[in-house]
Amino acid sequence: MRKIIALLSVLLMVGCSQQAVIDTTVPIKPFSHVLSGPEVAEELNVLYLRRFPNCNNSDAQPAFLCSGVSLRVTSRDKENIYKVWDPSPTSQLSGGVSFSYLRSDTNFQRFAWDGTNGLIFYPTLAAPAGKIAVQYLCSYPVDAWGWSRNSPCGPYTDFPVESGPCQDTGVTTAEKWIELWSRPSDLQNLRQCSFDVRAQRENLAGPAFYQSVRAKGMLGARGFGEQNEVVVKTWTAGQPDTLPLMAFFYVPGSPASALADARYNQRDFYNTTRSHIIVPIIRLTLPATSTGAVDFSYQEDDQVISAQR
């Protein structure tokens, strides 16, 4: 009997491990419907585990189009000048909106500005029909300190060549990026170059983004201690119904204002959209160590508006 139980345990473990394997050759298709809260949490955990070098085995399709989680920390504008899901006045002037890219091989332990709530976009290739496709411009392995640069993907004045697009300074691999990063400087964040991931780069866009992901992982403890930065082209404000908004999130254990703001944003989005779209609130738990895992979960009690109610 013990042998039979042991055999069944082994078979169960094998079956579970097989289910956890994600086939990278399966084409990524748009969701046929807007996902429910539990479905969003499940999909975010899947996206987080996908360590794709690109999408659909095409270098012209960078991995952010189908894997990983593109998210942005937000602060509610209490003067109601703009909505949190719209570009801020600063982003409208600069032409770029900063996101972070979270994936199991790009872990980090805190968000920009130590933010504790924000929003998550659908990956472009999986977004439901009718959603706009935002345009990704560049990727930095760590925070770019963009407020001091000439433009979101542009150089810093003191390093006019090194801090511009990576390809302009001969940096095409993670190893070369690390070499540049490791040169003595008090301004490493501003000295780093940006990996150009624009669609116009075609077959160079996918490899560029993957090298950015690799570079962050190669930074070790420094990479884990600081978020990366992916710049998206500023989109037109005032079109919430077609925005590829997948979730609002908050970090558990943070001040109560984090969940309160997420709830405010959920209700505000529902009331603002013509079709009263319910965007779920997701609890996002960051890892304690670089080898730990992020967890995305849906809790019914967190919601102020829910299809389940």
> What ranges do the domains of the chain cover?
31-302
pLDDT tens digits for 25-44? 555 678 777 789 999 999 99
Structure tokens belonging to residue 142? 């760590």
Handedness of CA 128, 132, 138, 141 (dihedral sign): negative
Q: Apex CA 227: angle with CA 225 and CA 232, to 5°?
A: 170
Structure tokens belonging to residue 137? 């411009």
Structure tokens belonging to residue 92? 């409208």
Residue 79: CB partners within 8 Å, gap ≥ 6? none
The residue behind tokens 């894997």 is: 67
Starting from the edge strand earliest in sequence, which strands make up the sheet with 229-233, in order?
195-196, 136-140, 229-233, 96-102, 69-73, 117-121, 245-250, 281-285, 295-298
| CA-wise closest residue to 300 among 10, 37, 8 | 37
- With a pLDDT cut of 70, the percent of the chain lying above it is 90
Specify burial of residue 85 (Cβ count, 10 A radius: 0-12, 13-18, 19+): buried
Q: What is the pLDDT of residue 14?
A: 35
Q: Residue 232's beta-bridge partner residues?
A: 97, 136
Q: What is the pLDDT of residue 27?
A: 59
Q: What is the pLDDT of residue 79?
A: 77
Residues of the chain with pLDDT under 50: 1-20, 22, 24
pLDDT tens digits for 186-240? 899 999 999 999 999 999 999 999 999 999 999 999 899 999 999 999 999 999 9
Total residue length of the chain: 309
Structure tokens belonging to residue 287? 């890892």
